[in-house]
Structure 1
Amino acid sequence: MNDELEGKHGVQSLEVGISILRAMAAGKRSMMLKDIALAADMPPSKAHRYLVSLIRTGLVEQDRLTSRYDLGPFALNLGLVALDRVDRIRLGLAAITDLRDVTNETIALAVWNDNGPVIVRWERPRKPITVNVLTGTNLRLLSSAAGRVFSAWLPEAQTEATLRQEIESGKAPADIRTLEDARHLLADVRKQGIAVISRHYFARNVEAAAVPVFNFKNEIAMAIAIVGVKDTLDLETGSSTLAALRQAGRALSVRLGATISSDTAADPAPSSD
């Protein structure tokens, strides 16, 4: 009977130890005992006892010179193993399926390859008139929502040649005539945390919105896009559709290990590499 109860209720001391590790991870740097205790909401004496055991397991280490505590080598190993086992595409497919169920709109997942953004999967809504998105479709950078998202958060050195080619070949929206115009557009995408296209989409009578998905390095890994027939999607700021899209991108980023604050859809800045 006791074993059965323990199995249901778990091990409280383990949960307390994990709360200390969570506090240390949230601190993002080595911490003094008093700061750990405060963050974990427990007396310093109690926190110290748990830290002693965590040090013995390798989950925590202490700097002898400063007396500060930090995550130890075993914690690092656990993190690396977990990251290695994360299947970003599998998680992305689950995310777009859930978003399709919430919005009843066409949802697509895009990744970056040598030829730019490409659709790797899409989910069809349950409505009579829909937009079909072909798996394997390469997207333009300036006239697709997902393309704008990748262009906004990837290093410009990685996208500049394609941006110039689209502008010079007339494939960019009519109001984007120079690279500087494109930079202004992409700066606004970063500011808003989302790309919305209700006109000048590369396909006629289609509109779309997309958000970035970041990995544990806070680098863009994927884009989630919602696509629909023109004038049938509610793409107004504050709409429930865009709110659901933002939440999907945020949740998937967190699942992949990104550092995302609770009140924004996209925090990480574009890399300067």
Structure 2
Amino acid sequence: MSTLQGVNSVDIAINILNFIAQNGGIARAADISKGCEISKSRLHKYLVSLCRTQMLYQDIQTSRYGLGRNILLLSSFIEADNSHIDIINNSLINFRDEQNVSTGVASRLGKTVSLVKYNRSFKNVDIDYLPNTPLPLEKSAAGIIYCAFDKQIKQTLFSSQELDTVIQQGYAIRYTPTEGIPGAQSIACPVFNNQGELIAAAITMGFIDKTDMEALASALIKQVKTIVI
């Protein structure tokens, strides 16, 4: 252990961020308080500061705290060990061009799944995302893919039957629109490396007609199969 004197409040703030990251990127204040062994009143001051600096954000509906855009922006400066994300994304750009649908790549950092690449369609009206947007496990197609295929994510959000269905069909669909984007859906499928390890989720999203969902999911799977990592 280092004997150098540091700033205790910085240690506590980082501990809070680590706790949230290790719990899927979003957590309740009560759980953070218990997990970080800090009183709720003292924790509140840290949460206010972390939200003010956009290291965290608070979900208006659930009051839970998630990793903010600034911490995700900082993580984007870490160089990847390889270019597999770019390889996947280049293939999805081709898919975007062929199908005229928005595409993206989701990747996991710790226990947080984020949209690390986004390719907007050429439609006049579509969805826009900021770089490294965190994706909630329970409300995104990519989140379902990671719950189904990534053994490092321990979750109780879905039943084993639901996850088995996703594994068998090879894709996940989020039919329920995200709040604030009426009509927006998403489809995701896993991308594996040569060792059979999940390395990303390929996504297409936007204002998709429900009758086109299954065909688009099949086309996305076919596109992903052309990717060699």
* TM-score (norm: length of structure 1): 0.50
Q: Please give the alpha-carbon distance, in whole angstroms, between the structure 2 residues aligned to 1:227 and 1:233.
A: 14
Which of 141, 149, 164 does residue 187 from structure 1 map onto?
Answer: 164
Matching residue of 1:159: 153
Deviation digits for residues 28-50 of structure 1 (CA, Å, limit 9, x no counterpart): xxxxxxxxxxxxxxxxxxxxxxx
Q: Please give the alpha-carbon distance, in whole angstroms, between the structure 2 residues aligned to 1:133 and 1:248.
A: 22
Any runs of at least 4 consecutive aligned residues in structure 1 with deviations exceeding 3 A, and if so which? 200-204, 230-233
Query: Which sits farther off after the overlay, 243-252 or 139-148?
Result: 243-252
Deviation digits for residues 103-148 of structure 1 (CA, Å, limit 9, x no counterpart): 1011011111114211111101111110112221111112100111
Q: Please give the alpha-carbon distance, in whole angstroms, between the structure 2 residues aligned to 1:242 and 1:109.
A: 15
CA 1:226 to 1:120, structure 2 compared with 1: closer, same or farther past 3 Å? same
CA 1:223 to 1:203, structure 2 compared with 1: closer, same or farther past 3 Å? farther
The one-letter amino acid of 1:95's match is: S
CA 1:199 to 1:123, structure 2 compared with 1: closer, same or farther past 3 Å? same
Aligned residue for 2:153, secondary structure, equals helix
Identical counterparts, % of pairs: 24
Which of 132, 154, 167 does residue 136 from structure 1 map onto?
Answer: 132
Q: Please give the alpha-carbon distance, in whole angstroms, between the structure 2 residues aligned to 1:103 and 1:147.
A: 23
The one-letter amino acid of 2:119's match is: E
Q: Please give the alpha-carbon distance, in whole angstroms, between the structure 2 residues aligned to 1:126 and 1:233.
A: 21
Q: Please give the alpha-carbon distance, in whole angstroms, between the structure 2 residues aligned to 1:99 and 1:109.
A: 12
Question: Contact conserved, 1:146 with 1:211, CA < 8 A, in 2?
Answer: yes
Residue 191 (structure 2) pairs with residue 213 (structure 1): yes
Residue 143 (structure 2) pairs with residue 147 (structure 1): yes
Choose 1 or 2 for highest CA Rg. Answer: 1
The one-letter amino acid of 1:185's match is: E
Question: Contact conserved, 2:111 with 2:153, CA < 8 A, in 1?
Answer: no
Matching residue of 1:10: none
Which of 219, 228, 231 does residue 206 from structure 2 map onto?
Answer: 228
Aligned residue for 1:223, secondary structure, equals strand
Aligned positions of 1:52-63 closer than 5 A: none
CA 1:250 to 1:203, structure 2 compared with 1: closer, same or farther past 3 Å? farther
* TM-score (norm: length of structure 2): 0.59
Q: Please give the alpha-carbon distance, in whole angstroms, between the structure 2 residues aligned to 1:115 and 1:209.
A: 21
Q: Please give the alpha-carbon distance, in whole angstroms, between the structure 2 residues aligned to 1:130 and 1:204.
A: 10
Question: Contact conserved, 1:198 with 1:230, CA < 8 A, in 2?
Answer: no
Aligned residue for 1:216, secondary structure, equals coil
